[in-house]
A and B are shown apart, each in its own frame.
Chain A
Amino acid sequence: MRETFIDTTTAILDEDPRTALVVADISAASFTAARRRHPDRVFNVGIREQLMAGMGGGLALTGMRPYLHSYAPFLIDRAYEQIKLDLGHQETGAVLVSIGASYDAAAEGYTHQSPGDVALLDTLDGWTVHVPGHRDEVAALLWAAARHDDRVYVRLSTQENGHAYPDAAGLRVLRRGGPLVVAVGPMLDPVLEATAGMDVTVAYTNTPRPLDTDGLRALVEGAVVVVEPYLAGTSAYLVGQALNGLPHRALHLGVGRAEIRRYGDWRDHAREHGLDPAGLRRSISGFLLEI
C-alpha cells in the first residue's frame, strides 16, 4: 500500500498544480523525483511533525491541497493539536496518509504504533476516514481526495486482504446469512475465515467515517459484530446512534488498550489482540451463542 501511495501521490502532483506534499523524513527518499520536478510543492521538513501539520493548514489557507504523510503515531498522535486547530479550527482541510497502522511496526515497539488514531480523529468534526483493505483500493481514494478541500485520513497497513473491493465506501455485503458482522479494511479476510460455516452476514467497508449508518440500520437484525483494525469500540457510539430504537446486541472487536510489551510482527500482535481468525471465531461464536 505504501508503494501505491507513493506512485499515486507522485502522479497527482504531476497532474494537479494545486497539490502539495509535506513529509517529515519518513518516505522522503521515495519522493525525490517528485521533489525535483515540483520543488515549490513538495517539502521535507525533517523530523518536525507539528510543523508538517501547521504547514498543511497554511498551504490550505492559500488554496492549495496538502497531502501530509508519516507513521500514524507521529502524523496523528503527536500532532493532534495542530490537526485540531491548524486544520479544523481554521476551516481548512488536508489529506493525511499514514503508514504503520496499529502494530505494523511490531518490532519497533509501542512508540511506533497508533491503535488510537481513528478514535482521536473521532473527537473532531468533519473527517472522512479511509481504511483500505487492499493496495488496489488506495489509488482511487487518493485521487478522489485531490478534488475537494475536506479533511481526509487514509490509513495504510501492511496487513491486507486477498481481493480489492473498490466500491466499498458504504457497507458492501459479501455474504448473506444471519447476524451482521462488519469488517473494516484489512479485517475482512480474517473475518471471512473466522466465520466460515457460520450463519452470518458479512459486510465490508474501507470508509468507516462517515459510517454507512443507513446500510447498518438496514442490515442489522438483532445482533451486530463490528471488527475494526484499531482501538476496540471506536465505532461503538456511532453504531449505537445508528441503531437507536432498534433492539439489538452489539460486540465490538479491535485492538485492546493494554500495551503489549512484546515485539515479533503484526501477526503476533493480531493474535494477541484476538484479531486473527481463531481469536475472532472464538469471540464471534461465543457472542452469537448467547443469543
Chain B
Amino acid sequence: MNFKLQSMHMKLLSRVTADVKHTPSAHSTLDVLWVLYDRVLRITPKTVDAPDRDRLLLSKGHGPAAYYAVLAAKGFIPEEWLDDMGGWDSPLGHHPDRTLIPGVEIGTGSLGHGLGLAVGTALGLRAQGFLDTRTFVLLGDAELDEGSNHEAIAYAAAIRLPITAIVIDNRSATHGWPGGIPVRFPNWEVSVVNGRDHDEIERALRVVSDRPHLVVASV
C-alpha cells in the first residue's frame, strides 16, 4: 500500500474508535477490501440498488472498521459516521446491518452465514439473466470452523457456481487448518496471495472461471 493511501486509511480507521474487541481482524481485511472497491467491484454509491451491481458479501462481520473506512473513503457513507461506531445514534454497529448502511449487502456477525447467502445470491442473479454480475464473499480462516460453510463449499463445487470466496488467513483458527485451507475447498479453483500486495490480490480477484474460485489472502 502506498504511503498516501495508508495514511488516509489509518486516519479513517482511527476514527472508528469503538472497535477494540476485534482490532486484528479489522485490519486484516483492509487491503483486500480496498482492492475490491478500488479496482474490481462494479458498484458505486449511485448504484447500490442496481440489480446488476457486483456483490460483495462480508461474511466475516467481525471487526468491520476496515469495511466502514473503505465505504467512507469511496463515498458510500459519510466519514462522520466513523466517529460513533456502536453508539445509540450510529448506523454503524460492531457488526454491519444491511438495512442501516448504504452499500452493505448483508447483515452479519454470527459466523458462517455469508457463503450460503452468496450461493443464493449468485443463483438468483443468474436466474434473472445478470450473467456479468459477480458475487464475492469474504470470510476469515477462523470462520471456517462453522460447519455451515462446508455445506455451501461442497454445493458450489458440485454445481460449478462461479462465485469468488476470499478467505483472509491470519491463522486465527483455534485448532488451525492442518494441510492448509485450499484442501477444504475441493474442486474449487484456488489462488493463494499475499494479503497485503494489491497487485497480487487484484490479479486473483479478476479471475473469472466456470467454477467457484477460492482466494486465500495471507496476512
Contacts and interface: CB of A to CB of B under 8 A. Distances in A.
A43 B116 contact: no
Contact of A61 (B110, B117, B151, B158): B117
A55 B106 contact: no
A62 B155 CA distance: 19
B154 to A, nearest CB: 8
A264 interface: no
Contacts of B115: 54
Nearest to B125: A62
Interface band, chain A: 20 to 34
B100 to A, nearest CB: 11
B119 to A, nearest CB: 5
B151 A45 contact: yes
A82 B118 CA distance: 13
A85 interface: yes
Contacts of A64: 124, 127-128
Interface in B107-160: 107, 110, 113, 115-128, 147-148, 151-152, 154-155, 158-159
Interface stretch (A86-94, A118-126, A186-194): A86-94
Nearest to A89: B107
Contacts, number: 101
Contacts of A91: 98-99
Contacts of A59: 120-121, 123-124, 127
B124 A58 contact: yes
A270 to B, nearest CB: 35
A51 B121 contact: no
Given A55-B116, A85-B110, A90 B51 contact: no
Contacts of A51: 116, 119, 148, 151-152, 155
Interface string A251-282: 00000000000000000000000000000000
B38 interface: no
Interface string A70-92: 00000000000110011001110
Interface band, chain B: 20 to 34
Question: What DSSP secondary structure best describes chain B's contact surface?
Answer: helix
Contacts of B99: 90-91
B116 A40 contact: no
A58 B116 contact: yes
Contact of B116 (A41, A53, A66, A89): A53
Nearest to A57: B117
B200 interface: no
B68 to A, nearest CB: 19
Contacts of A1: none
Interface of A: 17, 20, 40-41, 43, 45-46, 48, 50-51, 53-64, 66, 81-82, 85-86, 89-91
28 contacts: A20-B123, A40-B126, A40-B127, A48-B152, A48-B155, A50-B116, A50-B147, A50-B148, A51-B155, A54-B116, A55-B116, A55-B117, A56-B120, A57-B116, A58-B119, A58-B121, A58-B123, A60-B120, A61-B105, A61-B120, A62-B125, A63-B51, A64-B124, A64-B128, A82-B113, A86-B116, A89-B107, A90-B99
Q: Lowest 4 CB-CB distances: which A-B pairs, in order?
A: A58-B120, A54-B116, A62-B124, A55-B120
Interface of B: 51, 97-99, 105-107, 110, 113, 115-128, 147-148, 151-152, 154-155, 158-159
